[in-house]
Amino acid sequence: MEEVDCFIKLVCGSEFNDENEIDKILKHLSVSLKKVVLELVALQSLSDDKIGLYGPYLGRSMLELSVTALVGRLDPFKTLLMKKKQEQSDYDLGKPHSSSIRWQGDIVDKAVSNLWEDKSLKDPTRAILGAYQIELVLKDSAQKVIDEGSEDTMGLWFTQISNTDPKGVVESIKSKINTAYSSLSKGVHHELLVPQESILDRDTVLNILNDTLYIISSLSLLISQVPYAYKNELLEQCFSDYKKSQELELT
């Protein structure tokens, strides 16, 4: 499916070199992500019960695979370190590892009251949606997208991504990604002590999954325009892939 391939390319990049370690990681993630997205496409034909049961697992998988790829493109050191740790003969599946990507710290992080205080700069957060990445990197990408994009080139999502100033765009993505992560977790960890279908009904699950598609695509678009990001891409191509990715929305 062309729209699946466009989404995967927007998130992970393309034209991987098998001699390059970061390319090996991104290629692995792209293959895994494609399997998950194809299952998501098929999900909408299932019964309401199965959508409520499997939808959160697939959505959470799509979200985690995608942000891992985006961490790798913005900060390859983190993913290279994690891969090397997993290759060690004593790697233990049964315990947490310091090298693993963590939602709090690698994807999002606590607010920083004063970015330029020495105590803040002593150990600055490098989370992809942390205060420094937003201020130093992603705001500029958002400005570029708003200035050069249009509904014609980017599709209907353009209205959603351009309805505020550049910092507001990124802050909105940060808020939405936290909401999606929390919502999907309710279904994955079986936290609900009421009938699951009373909260995670078909329409709710599909809406969460569609929000997740928008969030991942939008964040990927911004990171693809960071000049030093790995596998960055011409804006026109990213707009095309972004527009095509919208066709994955579930009904």
Residue 198 has pLDDT above 90, yes or no: no
The gap between the terminal CA atoms of the chain, to the nearest Å, is 17
Q: Is 149 helix (H, G, I), strand (E, B) or coil?
A: coil
Position 68 in a domain: yes
Q: Identify the band that residue 92 occupies on the pLDDT scale cut at 50, 70 and 90.
A: confident
Closest C-alpha to 53, from 224, 188, 171: 188
pLDDT at position 196: 73
Q: In whole numbers, what is the pLDDT of the chain averaged over residues?
A: 93
Closest C-alpha to 250, from 218, 200, 208, 217: 208
Considering all CA atoms of the chain, what is the largest pairwise distance in Å, rounded to the nearest integer?
Answer: 56
Domain, as residue range, for 49: 2-87+134-248
Helix segments in 149-201, DSSP class H: 151-154, 157-161, 166-188
Residue 157's CB: how many other CB atoms inside 10 A?
20
Position 104 in a domain: no
Position 94 in a domain: no
CA 14 to each of CA 1, 29, 37, 224, 231: distance values in angstroms, whole numbers, following the listed order: 16, 11, 17, 12, 7
Position 115 in a domain: no
Write down the pTM of the prediction.
Answer: 0.94
Answer with the residue of higher pLDDT: 224 or 1. Answer: 224
Give the pLDDT mean for 177-196. Answer: 85
Position 210 in a domain: yes
pLDDT digits (tens, 9 = 90+) for 109-141: 999 999 999 999 999 999 999 999 999 999 999
Position 118 in a domain: no
Please, are residues 140 and 19 in contact by the beta-carbon 8 Å criterion? no
pLDDT at position 246: 97
Residue 218's CB: how many other CB atoms inside 10 A?
25
pLDDT at position 227: 93
pLDDT digits (tens, 9 = 90+) for 35-90: 999 999 999 999 999 999 999 999 999 999 999 999 999 989 999 998 898 889 88
How many domains does the structure of the chain reveal?
Answer: 1
CA 27 to each of CA 6, 18, 37, 116: distance values in angstroms, whole numbers, following the listed order: 14, 9, 15, 37
Residue 242 has pLDDT above 90, yes or no: yes
Q: Identify the band that residue 222 occupies on the pLDDT scale cut at 50, 70 and 90.
A: very high
